[in-house]
Amino acid sequence: MPKTLNLLPIITFFIFYKIYNIFIASMFLIIMSGIIFILNSVIDKKIDKINLISFLLVSILGFLTIFFHNSQFIKWKITIIYMFFSIALLISQFFQKKPIIQKFLEKNIKISDIFWKKINFFWALFFLFCSILNIYIALCFSEETWVNFKVFGLSILMFFSILITSIYINYKTLKNK
């Protein structure tokens, strides 16, 4: 399944937020996340742990948002997921033979182990920064500002982090040739 379909839940959330409110948007986020999770599982013929954790968090925090009529619950979802990513990357950095990033990408990208550690550490810090920034914006700014940041701000930050990583990898691979 194309990975771009994984964007449907957040797009659906944004549209329903703009048309209705965060509670209706949260309900459709749960529904769309469930559909995408099921489609990914059926097409890939396996359950991806990260997708499962994300779906469970969306479902639990989305339900709490709707049930208690309190938008703070759904605002914590990305903070929890990004904190989980940061911790996982840091654990792999210091307690495993190879960092997680290297395990995922080393088949396609050939660079020294030290550079994999730097990239892994960069992403651990990136996810930590984004989780803290998300909750800061959620707690200190309007709901609408948070929604816009969640949809556009985090996407832009992710894009630039991927770009920086790509430039760094390209530089290191060309330098080693």
Structure tokens given for 43 = 């097409």
- Exposed e or buried b for every residue in 17-43, given b needs 16+ CB within 10 A? beeeebbebbbbbbbbbeebbeebbee
Chain segment 80-126, per-residue pLDDT in tens: 999 999 999 999 999 999 999 999 898 988 889 999 999 999 999 99
pLDDT for 48? 84
Structure token pair of residue 58: 């969306």
What is the model's pLDDT at position 5? 81
> Which residues, given as ranges, of the chain have pLDDT below 70?
1-2, 176-177
Q: What is the pTM of this model?
A: 0.91
Give dist(CA 166, CA 108) in Å, integer: 13
* Residue 81 zone, left/alpha/beta (φ > 0; ψ -120 to 50; rest): alpha
Do 21 and 5 contact (CB within 8 A), yes or no? Answer: no
Amino acid 6: pLDDT: 85
DSSP states along 21-85: -HHHHHHHHHHHHHHHHHHHHHHHTS--HHHHHHHHHHHHHHHHHHHHT-THHHHHHHHHHHHHH
User: What pLDDT sits at residue 63?
Assistant: 98
